[in-house]
Amino acid sequence: MSSPRRVLAMAGAAVALLLTALPATASDIPPPDAVVTSPNVTHVRNVPKPDAIASSINTDIAFQGDYAYVGNYGGFSIYDIRNPKKARVVSSVVCPGGQMDVSVYGDLLFAAVDSSRSDDSCASTDRSAAEKDAWEGVRIFDISNKARPKYIKAVETACGSHTLTLVPGKGRDRHKNVYVYVSSYLPAANFPDCQPPHDKISIIKVPLRHPQAAHVAATPVVFPDGGNEDQPGLLIPTTGCHDITAYAEKDIAAGACMGDGVLFDISDRLDPKVTARTTDPNFAFWHSATFTNNARKVVFTDELGGGGAATCNEATGPNRGADAIYDISNGQFAFKSYFKISRHQDDSENCVAHNGSLIPVKGRDIMVQAWYMGGLSVWDFTDSANPREIGFFERGPRSDGGGGGIWSAYYYNGYIYAADFHEGFDVIKIDDRLTNSAKHVRTDRLNVQTQESYRNGWWH
């Protein structure tokens, strides 16, 4: 989702325009707050947000062993998912600073902060980015004790950290360091620590034995030519990246960079090189990326309207605010098709392509994906030119008329887990001949922005 601090004013006109779209047919819209699913999908459990952070919205999810880590604008929570049918909160950390997207590595949890704070502590308050002593960047916690996570380090980065991506070291370095690719954007001349043009990312080097020594080790420029800045219809011109997905074992990464889609060579962890780049006149905001298991395709999402608009309706159409599927041929992008949910939403429902992950099915390309108030969709894009939905879960419009929905929806060890803005943590299961083989694939970790291959019944 785009940072409220800088984006809402710029996106306001576009959102207002989109919200005037024609309503969907009333008979197609579920009753307010009602849960509806396709016949092959079951809602297993809902765990409400912990009281300490109930007033702020849930964001991204990471997994390790029997635990799920759910980010929240007010901090993060750890859930015991040993028995998904009895998923429960183990602990909750109050540490405000949007978005608090999270990733985990060993005993460390990394949280992205793209909201200017008075300092780097969990007791900080809002502060204008125009003030030199304001802080934003990455927080690091020790999660060895799940009941009592410990805040151990903060690293300030230029323009903050809207999202972050963990990239393990290579060879012997893998056991010594992990690298954090920090995506941030929207500089301004009056922001001392976020100066234009900011066409770069920040890379934090974290010594695993001494995480307190984490520091910004490189700030490579991604767009020396300034990127895509003048395409009509862009939500925001390119000024950095929104999100990066790394496939470290293949030494590649895909960047969703506002106005551009990018392929990186990350064989040198501190010096990623752009090897391919594409734009799309249909896209408003390149938001996130997902490789297929064989890395021969990549799916980019378009966050039309900044996540605050009703774009899943007849007036917006099937291609705008959609996913774009690209084959990777000879190291370059080859566009194949768009995919968007066909279930029209009410005009009170913000709906747009958002965070998702692969479902590990051998020989097929299937993923589950969040669509905010469009719920979540399970879809098959094995045929790149003809993707199709095979299952869904959603809630009807909120009875209070407000927005919300599912921020992230990921598949992990037989179940789908979803972080809903307001409703908390959902556990969902799909029973379908196309996906059932995935239940035999197991892993002990999942950071979706750090893809790992799956084979022989185990993620590697």
Q: In a structure prediction context, what are the per-residue pLDDT tens digits for the chain, which is 460 residues long?
A: 544 334 333 333 333 333 333 344 555 899 999 999 999 999 999 999 999 999 999 999 999 999 999 999 999 999 999 999 999 999 999 999 999 999 999 999 999 999 999 999 999 999 999 999 999 999 999 999 999 999 999 999 999 999 999 999 999 999 999 999 999 999 999 999 999 999 999 999 999 999 999 999 999 999 999 999 999 999 999 999 999 999 999 999 999 999 999 999 999 999 999 999 999 999 999 999 999 999 999 999 999 999 999 999 999 999 999 999 999 999 999 999 999 999 999 999 999 999 999 999 999 999 999 999 999 999 999 999 999 999 999 999 999 999 999 999 999 999 999 999 999 999 999 999 999 999 999 999 999 999 999 986 888 7
Gap between the Cα atoms of 346 and 138, Å rounded: 37
- In this structure, are residues 36 and 376 in contact, taking their beta carbons and an 8 Å threshold? no
- Strands 332-339 and 35-37, sheet pairing: unpaired
Residues 6+ apart with CB under 8 A from 373: 345, 349, 350, 351, 394, 395, 397, 398, 403, 404, 405, 406
**Are the C-beta atoms of residues 227 and 258 closer than 8 Å to each other?**
yes
- Going from the C-alpha of 85 to that of each of 14, 40, 45, 259, 268, the distances in angstroms are 41, 17, 6, 41, 43
Q: How many CB atoms lie within 10 A of CB 163?
A: 26
The answer to whether 388 touches 399, Cβ cutoff 8 Å, is: no
Q: Residue 96 and residue 74: Cα distance in Å, rounded?
A: 4
Task: Give the number of domains in the chain.
Answer: 1
Q: Token pair 């009753």 is at which residue?
A: 31
> What's CA 8's distance to the chain center, in Å?
19
- CB-CB contact of 137 with 156 (8 Å): yes
Structural domain boundaries, residue 398: 4-459
> What is d(CA 305, CA 8) in angstroms, rounded to the nearest whole number?
10
Q: Where are the beta strands (DSSP E) in 56-122?
A: 58-64, 67-72, 75-80, 88-94, 99-105, 108-117
Residues 397 and 405: their CA atoms lie apart, in Å, by 9
Count CB neighbours of 131 within 10 A.
Answer: 14
Phi, then psi, of 426 in degrees rounded to 5: -105, 140
CA distance 216 to 38: 46
pTM passes above 0.85:
yes
The span from the CA of 366 to the CA of 439, in Å, is 14
Query: H/E element holding 163?
Result: strand 163-168
Residue 71: closest CA among 447, 459, 452, 451 = 447
Residue pointed to by tokens 């009941």: 147
The structure tokens listed for 50 are 């912990």
Domain with residue 177: its CATH number is 2.130.10.10
